[in-house]
Amino acid sequence: MELSGNVQKGEPLPEMWLRPVGVVRNRIKEPSLVAESGDLELRAKVEKEAREERRVISELVIDSNLAGILDGIESFSHLLVLFWAHRVPPEGRSLIRAHPMGRKDFPLVGIFATASPARPNPICVATVRLLERRANVLRVEGLDAIDGSPLVDIKPYVPCFYAATDANVADWMIQVVSEYYE
From first to last of its 182 residues, the chain has per-residue pLDDT tens of: 454 556 667 788 888 899 999 999 999 988 888 888 788 888 765 455 555 666 889 999 999 999 799 999 999 999 999 999 999 988 889 999 999 988 999 999 999 999 999 999 999 999 999 999 999 999 999 999 999 999 999 999 999 998 888 999 999 999 988 887 66
Q: Give the DSSP H or E segment for 22.
A: strand 22-25
Beta strands (DSSP E) in 29-172 are 33-36, 39-42, 57-62, 78-84, 97-98, 109-110, 123-134, 137-141, 150-156
Residue 30: per-residue pLDDT: 86
3-class DSSP assignment, residue 68: helix
73, amino acid identity: I
Residue 43: per-residue pLDDT: 78
Residue 124: per-residue pLDDT: 95
Nearest CA to 150 out of 25, 17, 55, 15 is that of: 25
Instruction: List 128's β-bridge partners, or say none.
Output: 79
The whole model's pTM is what? Answer: 0.86
Residue 49: per-residue pLDDT: 55
Nearest CA to 96 out of 85, 86, 109 is that of: 109
Residue 35: per-residue pLDDT: 86
Residue 1: per-residue pLDDT: 47
Residue 63: per-residue pLDDT: 97
Please list the alpha-helical segments (H only) found in the chain.
44-52, 159-162, 171-180
Residue 48: per-residue pLDDT: 57
17, amino acid identity: W
Pick the CATH number of 22-160 from 3.40.630.40, 3.60.21.10, 2.40.30.70, 1.10.1060.10: 2.40.30.70
